[in-house]
Chain A
Amino acid sequence: MSDAALDVNGRTVAADAPPRRHLGDWLREDLRLTGLHLGCEHGVCGACTVEIDGAPARACIAFPAALAGARIRTIEAFDDDAVMASLRRAFSEEHALQCGFCTPGMLIAARDAVLRAPGPDEAWIRREMAGNLCRCTGYVGIVRAIVRVVTERQETGLALPPSPPTAPATIRVRRSFVPREAADPAPPAPAGGAVPRDMAPRDMAPRDMATRDMATRDMAPRDMATSDATGWSRVEAHFIVARQPDATWAALADFPLLARCFPGATLTGHGADRVTGEVEVGLGPIRATFRGAATVERDEGLRTGVVSGAGQDGRSASRTRAEIAYRLTPDGPDGTRVDLDVAYRLTGPLAQFSRAGIVRSLARALVADFARRLNAELAGRDGTAPPSRPASAIRRALARLVPRRRRR
């Protein structure tokens, strides 16, 4: 519990809510200020807009425990406010509301826009109101109402002198010059960092490398680009194992070994062609633990395999399905190249933060780390030293991708 005190609509209130309770819930449930509405509860829709310290803010992503000393005003506090009175009248006359759900947030955002508006500029007002969603699509009426209030205030001399909120650079003279830092950097290391060879786009293994036609299943079509309307995305990657194909093929059937090598993975059970377990993924502040199962099909003759799995992160209710097709080919006299073609689909909250490119980078980093650990494990088995790799920023970045188990 926190003993922070806040000023709510002129009243001092102790914020005796658990830290996890957001300001919107606290105002509605504890203080019964139900003028505030909750829509998306993750900062997108603007329905919960209130004033914190005189400026509009989202109540759903603010926490009273972290707002000691703050001054909060909800829609209930604006009864006697002149600007709000004008807005209420204009909203009514311009049909700026239908169901009224977005209206309290709209009014608080609109009041702020009116006070900052350089003039009755509709484009500017639309831009400033873009963070408040109306599902009755009353935007035309809402914008008209705000334009009307800004115009009225300007006519009565109440408005601030017009001044553009931001002035793009005014360039006086362009004169050419030779820049100091003319060194041309080499192309970056690939996102996968430790993926040993070229990451330049290349043709992947034949589409039919899997032992059966994947298109007949509830799976991603293999020929799509990175993502499509069904939510499936694809990542291609490869790595080199410093062992001949026979040894690599055997290693890829050793589930406990694979689980040890895969960052964040824990094996809970396995048979000949089925595994259960969990994989903990971390990226920045994001943590998810996917529990699930996978089946494995392998074609010894072709040296190909398909791993199909599904899992769920219990706490965020995010789900994933993935299918990983792999193919082994010799790489020099003593090595094996493993090509991976990963199709995956994420649904639930995690999907909202998982733009395809970010997942692709993460997947490549995971593959690179997996390859490094696998090589180290295999080298450890017969006493040879694991291949050393130069430390790099990517290396350090990678260390942060996997969950931090211990801290100082």
Chain B
Amino acid sequence: MKAAAFQYERPGDLPQAIALLAREGAKALGGGQSLGPMLNLRLARPALLVGLTHLDPLRSIADLGHAWRIGAAVTHARLEDERLAGAEMLAAVASDIAYRSIRTRGTIGGSLVHADPAADWPLALATLDAVVEIEGPSGRRRCPAETFMQAAFTVDLAADEIVTAVEVPKTTPDAAWSAFKFCRKQGDFAQASAAILLDPDRRAARVFCGALDGPPRPLPGIARRLAEGLALPGDTVERELGRLVPDLDPIALRMHAAAIRRAADRLGRSA
């Protein structure tokens, strides 16, 4: 199918973009790899699309010392290729998103704002304890990635606010991490996913489960077990997951628990 009619604007800078997004029926356009299909299927029918990916402040990657600041319009492919030191999980996650011809256009900020529960960035960025940088008419604010996504396709972002960057804390050399997802075929949306970060020097232990009905869920009990070097039996994972995510049906519970255990299993393993 073909998209319904819409207007397109290419703002010259961020304030212009914010002003355009305040218009009735306006919608921000990132790489368009999720919105494009919805436009063509006429499930999304915005009156106005505001292009953002050409704006320079959104395209840079900066080394802040303790963290990487990654512009919202940075593509998955660029993160796959650049392999930022201290944020190696980003490259691994990026390389497994959809297909290369999607990754060359799709952006980290766009994916985060689109907030498909099965998407990779909401899970990975919550696990890495990233911070979302947001710009709006009343200035700049910051929001933890962990709470930015509120429900399926729903994030903590007003219509005239723009995600400008994500700040990803660097891991220390002793850190262990992994991400795992079940997909029916390579590049398909995940049916269940999990990500783990254990960073002894920062005393950070984070385990998140993704591809749920809503945002990724933290599993601190499992994180603590992993940090303390304890075994992770299947029934422990299922019990903890069932307690924290009570809506899961028995099959989904099994699958998500398996994703967590597979991710844990990969933790200590080298390439």
Question: Considering only CB atoms, which chain B residue lies closest to A352 in the complex?
Answer: B41
Chain A hits for B189, CB < 8 A:
355
Chain A hits for B96, CB < 8 A:
166
Q: Is B63 an interface residue (CB 8 A)?
A: no
Q: Is B244 an interface residue (CB 8 A)?
A: yes
Tell me whether A176 and B2 are in contact (CB under 8 A): no
* Total contacts A-B at CB 8 Å: 284
Tell me whether B205 and A187 are in contact (CB under 8 A): no
Chain B hits for A58, CB < 8 A:
33, 36, 101-102, 105
Which listed residue, A127, A169, A178, A360, touches B177 by the CB 8 Å rule? A169
Q: Is B235 an interface residue (CB 8 A)?
A: no
Within 8 A of A (CB), among B202-250: 202-206, 212-214, 217-218, 220-221, 223-224, 227-229, 243-247, 249
Given the interface pairs A55-B77, A287-B45, the reply to whether A60 lies near B40 with Cβ below 8 Å is yes
Chain B hits for A211, CB < 8 A:
none
Tell me whether B243 and A187 are in contact (CB under 8 A): yes
Tell me whether A171 and B213 are in contact (CB under 8 A): no
Question: Considering only CB atoms, which chain A residue lies closest to B38 in the complex?
Answer: A285
Q: Is A357 an interface residue (CB 8 A)?
A: yes
Within 8 A of B (CB), among A18-63: 18-22, 25, 41-44, 46, 49, 52, 55-58, 60-63
Chain B hits for A176, CB < 8 A:
200, 227-229
Q: How many residues of B contact A (CB 8 A)?
A: 104
Report the separation of the CA atoms of residues A55 and B104 in the bound assembly, to the nearest whole angstrom: 6
Report the separation of the CA atoms of residues A178 and B224 in the bound assembly, to the nearest whole angstrom: 7
Question: Considering only CB atoms, which chain A residue lies closest to B51 in the complex?
Answer: A66
Tell me whether A182 and B220 are in contact (CB under 8 A): yes
Which residue, of B8, B186, B266, B269, has the highest number of chain A Cβ atoms within 10 A? B8
Report the separation of the CA atoms of residues A4 and B9 in the bound assembly, to the nearest whole angstrom: 11
Tell me whether B8 and A2 are in contact (CB under 8 A): yes
Binds B, one of A267-275, A323-331, A374-382, A396-404: A396-404
Chain B hits for A66, CB < 8 A:
8, 10, 29, 32, 49, 51
Tell me whether A169 and B118 are in contact (CB under 8 A): no
Q: Is A297 an interface residue (CB 8 A)?
A: no
Within 8 A of B (CB), among A336-392: 349-350, 352-353, 355, 357-358, 360-362, 365
Chain A hits for B26, CB < 8 A:
407
Q: Is B71 an interface residue (CB 8 A)?
A: no
Tell me whether A178 and B228 are in contact (CB under 8 A): yes
Q: Is A65 an interface residue (CB 8 A)?
A: yes
Tell me whether B104 and A52 are in contact (CB under 8 A): yes
Q: Is A99 an interface residue (CB 8 A)?
A: no
Tell me whether A57 and B105 are in contact (CB under 8 A): yes
Given the interface pairs A68-B10, A131-B101, A285-B38, the reply to whether A358 lies near B43 with Cβ below 8 Å is no
Q: Is B14 an interface residue (CB 8 A)?
A: no
Given the interface pairs A60-B40, A357-B213, A394-B151, the reply to whether A49 lies near B173 with Cβ below 8 Å is no
Tell me whether B246 and A199 are in contact (CB under 8 A): yes
Within 8 A of B (CB), among A195-218: 199-201
Q: Is B89 an interface residue (CB 8 A)?
A: yes
Chain B hits for A283, CB < 8 A:
152-154
Q: Is A11 an interface residue (CB 8 A)?
A: no
Tell me whether A316 and B8 are in contact (CB under 8 A): no
Question: Considering only CB atoms, which chain A residue lies closest to B26 in the complex?
Answer: A407
Q: Is B57 an interface residue (CB 8 A)?
A: no
Q: Is A181 an interface residue (CB 8 A)?
A: yes
Report the separation of the CA atoms of residues A288 and B44 in the bound assembly, to the nearest whole angstrom: 8
Given the interface pairs A68-B10, A349-B42, the reply to whether A177 lies near B228 with Cβ below 8 Å is yes
Given the interface pairs A20-B3, A131-B187, A407-B159, the reply to whether A179 lies near B153 with Cβ below 8 Å is no
Report the separation of the CA atoms of residues A306 and B252 in the bound assembly, to the nearest whole angstrom: 30
Chain B hits for A113, CB < 8 A:
100
Which residue, of B96, B153, B198, has the highest number of chain A Cβ atoms within 10 A? B153
Query: In the complex, how many angstroms separate the beta carbon of B201 from the nearest chain A beta carbon?
Result: 9
Chain B hits for A2, CB < 8 A:
8
Which residue, of B23, B35, B51, has the highest number of chain A Cβ atoms within 10 A? B51
Chain B hits for A7, CB < 8 A:
none
Within 8 A of A (CB), among B3-34: 3-8, 10, 22-24, 26-27, 29, 32-33
Contact pattern, B 68-107, Cβ under 8 Å of A = 1, otherwise 0: 0000000001001001000011011011101111101100
Chain A hits for B267, CB < 8 A:
171, 174
Which listed residue, B41, B104, B198, B213, touches A360 by the CB 8 Å rule? B213
Chain A hits for B212, CB < 8 A:
357
Q: Is B114 an interface residue (CB 8 A)?
A: yes
Chain A hits for B100, CB < 8 A:
55-56, 109, 112-113, 116, 128, 131
Tell me whether B176 and A350 are in contact (CB under 8 A): no
Chain A hits for B152, CB < 8 A:
283-284, 357-358, 361-362
Tell me whether B40 and A285 are in contact (CB under 8 A): no
Tell me whether B98 and A41 are in contact (CB under 8 A): no
Which listed residue, B23, B101, B175, touches A46 by the CB 8 Å rule? B101
Tell me whether B32 and A172 are in contact (CB under 8 A): no
Tell me whether A42 and B37 are in contact (CB under 8 A): yes
Chain B hits for A301, CB < 8 A:
none
Report the separation of the CA atoms of residues A181 and B223 in the bound assembly, to the nearest whole angstrom: 10
Q: Is B115 an interface residue (CB 8 A)?
A: yes
Which listed residue, A112, A180, A286, touches B44 by the CB 8 Å rule? A286
Which listed residue, B44, B91, B204, touches A166 by the CB 8 Å rule? B91
A-B contact pairs, 16 of them (CB 8 A): A43-B36, A61-B32, A61-B33, A66-B49, A113-B100, A131-B98, A164-B271, A176-B227, A176-B229, A179-B220, A187-B246, A284-B152, A285-B35, A315-B4, A318-B43, A407-B159
Q: Which 6 A-B pairs have the closest CB atoms?
A: A284-B153, A131-B99, A61-B36, A179-B205, A176-B229, A357-B213
